[in-house]
Structure 1
Amino acid sequence: MGHDVPLLPLIISLLGIAGIIAWHLQGRSRPTARLIVQIAFFAVMTAVLSFARASPFHYDPSGIDGASALLLLAKVLWWIHLAWAMIGFVRIYIVLDHRPREARLIQDLIVATVYLGVSLSIMAFVFGVPVGTLMATSGVIAIILGLALQNTLSDMFSGIALTLGRPYVIGDWISLTDGTEGRVVASNWRSTYLLTGAHNVVVLPNSVLAKLGLTNVSQPDENHQLTLPIRVAPTRMPRTIVEVMRDVLESSNVIVKQPSPYVVLTAIDASAVTVELQFRVTSPAQRGEARNEVIDLVYRHCKASGLELAMPPEAVVVSKDSVQMAEHPTPEALGLVEAVSTFAILNRDERISLAALATQRTFSAGAEIVRAGDVLTRLMIVRSGIVAMKTNNEEVARLAPGDFFGEQGLLAGLEETHTLQAVTRVVVYEIDKDAFAPLLIERPELAEDLAANLACRNRLGERRLTPTNTDDGRTSDLLKRIRSMFRLHRSHGEPARSRH
């Protein structure tokens, strides 16, 4: 190699060390500049090695002295710079648009392969290690380790497959065929973490997850369809039952209205007409709330329309008297009063008296029942139909049979905060303030229940608007006003009757 060899390996070693320092000084924020510097140092080192006629692909078995040690160091640094130059290309040019996680995984796999290849090359071409024998020995060791780490390796490769396939991302709600469901909160090469609806974290090995059927509820969005079967006694034509169930879905305030929910007749026999209510919610977390509301509305609309829920199939006894086909009368004021939970604190005689005070009014579809700013002096209970609550001509909620309004005018003389309009034909029962006042004085807790119902309805109306706490303040003021009004009545010598 000539008398220049001792000097040239020293130059190569110094260039390699200088390249490492320059590579670190560039930082991760400048990958292109770092790659250019790396290529420049690698090219100069290659040129010097070529000039010195020292091939990095050839092992020199000569003895170890100062010159040989420098040459070995120069070759090692050359291989390191080659690896870093290749990795620089990988980091910059292997990019998957809008899929940074998959791109990073592929980059890491290629980088690991580069480091493994360079390490074996250094061992073979610089230090003369018999790589073939080593690989044969390592193959036996790899088999032993593979058997010992079978589950771990299975989880790792399943994690790679799941990452590349991308059936879910962090934040998605997924449902598995074994019944497990939850939101993906973390994922690595070995396992995936789900936060369930019970607020528990379930850790699933990737190998198990890859074998199960998976439904991504969050794709393409989190709208989630629910199906609720209802059995109705065949005392009405199926068409009438469908219309009532449509009113049920139209009066809901929780379910999604676009796409429209729909009603499907699925079966009919001598004991029942079976319908399915199919509707969507905006997220899986709302399934329980939506089911509760729809079931409550089914009961109320059936009561208002004279429909009767059928017995479950296993409880039906087939006989000529098992099904009553007679027409059921429309519920009267007493039945409606008894169905309203607010009036549950009244005894039977008081509910009868209250129902006797009610007068019936009918509004056609589209009619305005009350306008925002008006003061109602009567309590209005919805007997049948759907009523829309509007603010600035925007619908914010709907009322169904059994709901009532007019409390703030009846109790405290306040203006209505929403415009109420009939969506369908609406029948209401009205109870005048003068007729209602004696009952409120005798049962002040009834007034507080009415005020609490008003607060709940106002929160429902404001849920689709900007969330504020102003309603809580109005409700608190209303309660104080009601209590002071009843104290004034009692201070004038009008004691309340004892409860029955």
Structure 2
Amino acid sequence: MDQVRLPIEKIEYFIQHESFVVLVVALLFGWIFYKLFLKRISEKRHTTLRRRFMKTGLYLVLAIVLALLHWGLIQATWTDYFTVKVANYIGLVSFLILVTVLIRCAQIYVYLYLFLANMSQGVPRLIANLFTLLFSTFVVSWIAADVFGFNLATVLATSAIFTIVLGLALQDTLGNLFSGVALQIERPFQLGDWVEVHNSDDKWVGQIQEITWRATSLLGFGDELIVIPNKTIAQSQLLIFSDRNKPARFSQAFRFRFDVDILKAKAAILEGIKAVPEILEDPEPRVLVLEVTESWVSMKVFYSVTDYGRKYRVGDLVVSNVLESIKRKRLTLATPVLSLFREEEDHD
């Protein structure tokens, strides 16, 4: 007798040809939908969907082959006890792979919906992963109770203490998870946005690349990958620079000699600014006098750009072009002035 009795009748009910036909049709329908309506998505998204379709298709083929092998062994005229036992375990593996294909198909449809609804915007993996977790939990619970006959109420009752211990051990992980979910609900930023994260004395600047269970990934100006826990993100002050909001506003100061012609200096700065193609004309650049002392006049130019990631490149062009414009107009920047006083002793 088997030490472990498989509910083979229930398993065989699910590895009939009807189940495989439904999954094949669902996979083909998803592929046709992808080809018809998602032509304009990014190459990265194309790669993601193709890989998922390919892997899911391979799993489905494997499940079909194992199911055919199971039925072939069961219906063979020379079957014995050992052959039936092997066939039953092959049927079990086919059934488990079939369940995996079902979950992966559902996940593919989630990606199709998210990519269609956010054609030009980033889609964090956290949303798809959360759906996969919830759907997998539902399917596995149903299979455990209906197919294998587990009493889930008893299992949950006896595991209460274990759940408490596990929750305490995973406190930080769960904090990051729920913070990530909160970020997805509030959606203060999206993939592709530039953010400055200020937390106490720490500061991180980068472009949002991904939001996962544990952390948010930024790509810095030097192409370095910055991984910040979601809990830290939720507790930090955020400065968000997004194309959907107002363009990013920057400034650069210049200090002229006290006797400078202010109108001529402002014209020189604006002339240099207009030579930078990345700077927007609306809102237009402005030059303001900020400070006047006995030695210099300080002016600052304010300008706007759409792409925060080009901050340093645009800043370099601004300084270079304005300095060239100042030279052409024969203006002079202020230089540090050091005054020395000599005290002579009184010999009387």
Please tell me the residue identity of whatever aligns with 1:21.
Answer: F
Q: Shift in Å at residue 204 of structure 1?
A: 2.2
Secondary structure of 1:309's counterpart equals: coil
Of 200-209 and 277-286, deviating more is 277-286
Q: Which residue of 2 aligns with 1:350?
A: none
Q: Which residue of 2 aligns with 1:386?
A: none
Q: Shift in Å at residue 223 of structure 1?
A: 5.1
- Give the whole-Å Cα distance in 2 for the aligned partners of 1:148 and 1:157: 15
Q: Shift in Å at residue 198 of structure 1?
A: 1.8
Contact 1:254 1:289 in 2 (8 A): no
Q: Which residue of 2 aligns with 1:474?
A: none
Distance 1:128 1:210, change over 3 A: closer
Q: Give the one of 288, 295, 304 matched to 2:312.
A: 288
Q: Which residue of 2 aligns with 1:180?
A: 204
Q: Give the one of 149, 152, 163 matched to 2:173.
A: 152
Q: Give the one of 274, 279, 285 matched to 1:256.
A: 279
CA RMSD of aligned residues (A): 4.3
- Give the whole-Å Cα distance in 1 for the aligned partners of 2:325 and 2:226: 41
Contact 1:222 1:283 in 2 (8 A): no
Residues 449-480 of structure 1 deviation map (CA, whole Å, 9 limit, x = unaligned): xxxxxxxxxxxxxxxxxxxxxxxxxxxxxxxx
Q: Shift in Å at residue 98 of structure 1?
A: 1.3
Quick check: 1:273 aligned with 2:272?
Answer: no
Contact 2:179 2:230 in 1 (8 A): yes
Secondary structure of 2:216's counterpart equals: strand
Residues 222-269 of structure 1 deviation map (CA, whole Å, 9 limit, x = unaligned): 95432101222220353343233222323x234424222121222323
Quick check: 1:111 aligned with 2:111?
Answer: no
- Give the whole-Å Cα distance in 2 for the aligned partners of 1:116 and 1:21: 19
Secondary structure of 1:142's counterpart equals: helix
Distance 1:249 1:217, change over 3 A: same
Q: Shift in Å at residue 214 of structure 1?
A: 2.9
Q: Which residue of 2 aligns with 1:220?
A: 244
Quick check: 1:98 aligned with 2:103?
Answer: no
- Give the whole-Å Cα distance in 1 for the aligned partners of 2:305 and 2:325: 21
Q: Which residue of 2 aligns with 1:68?
A: none
Quick check: 1:230 aligned with 2:231?
Answer: no
Q: Which residue of 1 aligns with 2:161?
A: 140
- Give the whole-Å Cα distance in 2 for the aligned partners of 1:17 and 1:253: 66
Q: How does 1:77-476 map to 2 (within 5 A)?
A: 98-99=117-118, 101=123, 104=128, 107-115=131-139, 117-118=141-142, 121-122=145-146, 127=149, 129=151, 131-177=152-198, 178-220=202-244, 224-250=248-274, 252-259=275-282, 260-311=284-335
Residues 142-181 of structure 1 deviation map (CA, whole Å, 9 limit, x = unaligned): 1111121222222222233333443444444333224322
Please tell me the residue identity of whatever aligns with 1:233.
Answer: R
Please tell me the residue identity of whatever aligns with 1:238.
Answer: I
- Give the whole-Å Cα distance in 1 for the aligned partners of 2:8 and 2:156: 33
- Give the whole-Å Cα distance in 1 for the aligned partners of 2:247 and 2:226: 23
- Give the whole-Å Cα distance in 1 for the aligned partners of 2:153 and 2:306: 61
Contact 2:273 2:318 in 1 (8 A): yes
Please tell me the residue identity of whatever aligns with 1:28.
Answer: L
Please tell me the residue identity of whatever aligns with 2:207.
Answer: R
Of 132-141 and 144-153, deviating more is 132-141
- Give the whole-Å Cα distance in 2 for the aligned partners of 1:243 and 1:272: 18
Distance 1:137 1:183, change over 3 A: same
Q: Shift in Å at residue 104 of structure 1?
A: 3.4
Q: Shift in Å at residue 28 of structure 1?
A: 2.0
Q: What percent identity do the matched residue pairs reach? A: 22
Secondary structure of 1:135's counterpart equals: helix
Distance 1:11 1:284, change over 3 A: closer
Please tell me the residue identity of whatever aligns with 1:154.
Answer: G
Please tell me the residue identity of whatever aligns with 2:131.
Answer: Q
Number of matched pairs: 255
- Give the whole-Å Cα distance in 1 for the aligned partners of 2:335 and 2:143: 76
Distance 1:318 1:149, change over 3 A: farther
Long gaps (5+) in structure 2 = 1-6, 31-94, 342-348
- Give the whole-Å Cα distance in 2 for the aligned partners of 1:105 and 1:236: 62
Q: Which residue of 2 aligns with 1:324?
A: none
- Give the whole-Å Cα distance in 2 for the aligned partners of 1:294 and 1:189: 41
Secondary structure of 1:180's counterpart equals: strand
Secondary structure of 1:253's counterpart equals: coil
Larger CA Rg, structure 1 vs 2: 1
Secondary structure of 1:152's counterpart equals: helix
TM-score (norm 1): 0.42
Q: Shift in Å at residue 199 of structure 1?
A: 2.6
Contact 1:176 1:212 in 2 (8 A): yes
Distance 1:238 1:127, change over 3 A: same
Q: Shift in Å at residue 270 of structure 1?
A: 2.6
TM-score (norm 2): 0.57
Higher helix share: 2
Q: Which residue of 1 aligns with 2:344?
A: none
Contact 2:241 2:248 in 1 (8 A): yes
Distance 1:298 1:143, change over 3 A: same
Distance 1:114 1:99, change over 3 A: farther
Q: Which residue of 2 aligns with 1:28?
A: 27
Q: Shift in Å at residue 280 of structure 1?
A: 3.0
Secondary structure of 2:304's counterpart equals: strand
Q: Shift in Å at residue 116 of structure 1?
A: 5.8
Q: Which residue of 2 aligns with 1:64?
A: none
- Give the whole-Å Cα distance in 2 for the aligned partners of 1:318 and 1:220: 55
- Give the whole-Å Cα distance in 2 for the aligned partners of 1:275 and 1:294: 14
Q: Shift in Å at residue 128 of structure 1?
A: 6.7
Long gaps (5+) in structure 1 = 1-8, 32-76, 320-500
